[in-house]
Structure 1
Amino acid sequence: MPKKYIVRLSKCEQEELQSVIKKLKGSSQKVRRAQILLKADASGPNWTDERIAEAFCCRTKTVENIRKRLVEQGFEVAVNGLKRQSAPTPKLLDGEQEAQVIAMRLGKPPKGYGNWSLRLLARQVVELDIVESVSHETIRQTLKKMG
């Protein structure tokens, strides 16, 4: 099947990629992308996607995606990858609320219970108006950070 995205690297781009590979500059993903682009260069080795994938232990779809990214988004994005679009989710509990949850966990459980369960802690945190709503998973993550 003919290639839809043809990689044509300038002399400067080839030198930069060779520098990345030689000095192992950047992440392992960046080095692999550089290797893939050099082998896919139409004016250079011009390997098939299957051969490149086999040589660098990746899928042919990965090679196709790197080719596509080079053609559509440019050299820098193809080598360095895309930056994360969404910011990480904000913390659900602040430091004071976390301290209250930990203190509650270290105290005695309510009457009729032998130990604190995550769901019981979550219920108690809501009942005591520490937070408006919280899941047992958030409580687990908070307690896990405690060590």
Structure 2
Amino acid sequence: MWCIGRITAEYRRRMYDLLELYALGYCKESPVICMDEKSKQLLAQTREPMPVRVGSCRKEDYEYKRCGTRNIFLAVEPRGKWRHVEMTNRRQKKDFVDFIQSLLLGRYAQCEKVHLVLDNLNTHFYKIFVEVLGQAQADQLLKRVMFHYTPKHASWLNMAEIEIGIMDKQCTGRRIGKATFLESELKAWENRRNGEDRGIEWKFTKQDADRKLSRHYVAE
């Protein structure tokens, strides 16, 4: 559900920036990467579920056992038809920096420029890289990166949200009690999705935004 409130000039600036970015054609040397993360609660069954039968869906008991939580980082390259997921024990500054660093020094090591789309979580900013890596190493790592942030309360503008929704439907939106099993399922899902050669076709344009949302625009 969208909750549209007052759309300020800053909101519009960030929204237009992303919509213009998404309208660009695919460029291997300057990819657009959308990144997000989610928490996954590990829940184990207390009773064996009843399997699917003809005319009857799978059934499970309403009781479950809590087995902790894990964090899932997800990066998707919509035009490049590629995504990557990684499970961590927690969501701390270093975990985020390590995830981005693995992308920039791995798959995107030879790119001239990297457009990175993020929300406004407090760990998603340049200063966190400096805090974790130090000034010199952070500057070296991020010299090719252009950060693009969604407006506040507008995570729908991050295409990683779409991919997380697909991941939940196909993989993580069920009870999983063991971290090792969650990790193996995530890797299997990633491999399957990438093997399907499917990207994300974003069709909402700047013109669409002005036509549908202009009544919420406010002057400052």
Question: Which range, TM-score by smaller chain?
Answer: under 0.3
Q: Larger relative CO (CA 8 A, sep 6+): 1 or 2?
A: 2
TM score, norm. by length of structure 2? 0.16
Q: Which has the higher strand share?
A: 2
TM score, norm. by length of structure 1? 0.22
